[in-house]
Amino acid sequence: YLGDNCLDLKCFIENYKTYAESEFVENDEQIIMKTRSGNENKYVKSVKFVLATLLFKKDYAKLNDNIRAGIFNPDYVKIFDYIKEETNAGRTPIVSKIYDMFDDTDNNTEINELIEYGEAIPTVQDNADYYNDCMNVILSSILKKEVDNLVALASAEKDIDKRNQYLKEYMAKRKK
């Protein structure tokens, strides 16, 4: 694929599509290739745990609207919105409805893993502490995203007064 410092993208895509373990979706003139990391970081584990405990109605899991901004996976946002909608309407979220929300859950390993994960979580007090830790990880990711955004804005800004304003906001966020 690589030769003379260039990548033959068409060749790469064709080989990727014929590889047995490749996951991809083609629609119109677009191909979406899915990748999997061998290990999940603390943030991903936290989001999965919080969503699974909310979906499976664990006693210690309390809905917090603030975490939505810290969920970056669009499928997980959709699940969070469903849980929130059902909870606010006084209804209990139904796990099987998750399958109805997505076109191809057979090939959506993230959704299947989330549901399997939720089914395996026992209701014990230790998990309540872990749930709170996970909530803090998600809320921290929101703050980090805001701080990173302010740094980028300040770096790109030519006007000294605006740059100083971004830096003041940055400092205020860093104190949180």
State the pLDDT at residue 150: 85
How confident is the model over 67-77, as a mean pLDDT?
A: 91
State the pLDDT at residue 1: 42
For the chain, what is the total number of helices (H) and then of strands (E)?
7, 4
Judged against a pLDDT cut of 60, whether residue 5 lies above it is answered with no
Least confident range of 29-33, 103-107, 113-117, 145-149:
103-107
Specify the higher pLDDT residue, 40 or 69. Answer: 69
How confident is the model over 3-16, as a mean pLDDT?
A: 63
Specify the higher pLDDT residue, 39 or 155. Answer: 155
CA dihedral 19, 24, 26, 31 (to 10 degrees): -90
Judged against a pLDDT cut of 80, whether residue 103 lies above it is answered with no
Token code pair at residue 148: 């990173």
State the pLDDT at residue 176: 65
- Could you tell me which of 54, 17, 34 has the C-alpha nearest to residue 109? 34
Judged against a pLDDT cut of 90, whether residue 79 lies above it is answered with yes
How confident is the model over 58-84, as a mean pLDDT?
A: 91
pLDDT band at 96 (very low <50, low <70, confident <90, very high): confident
CA-to-CA distance for 32 and 55, rounded, in angstroms? Answer: 28
How confident is the model over 48-56, as a mean pLDDT?
A: 92
What is the share, in percent, of the chain residues with pLDDT greater than 70?
81
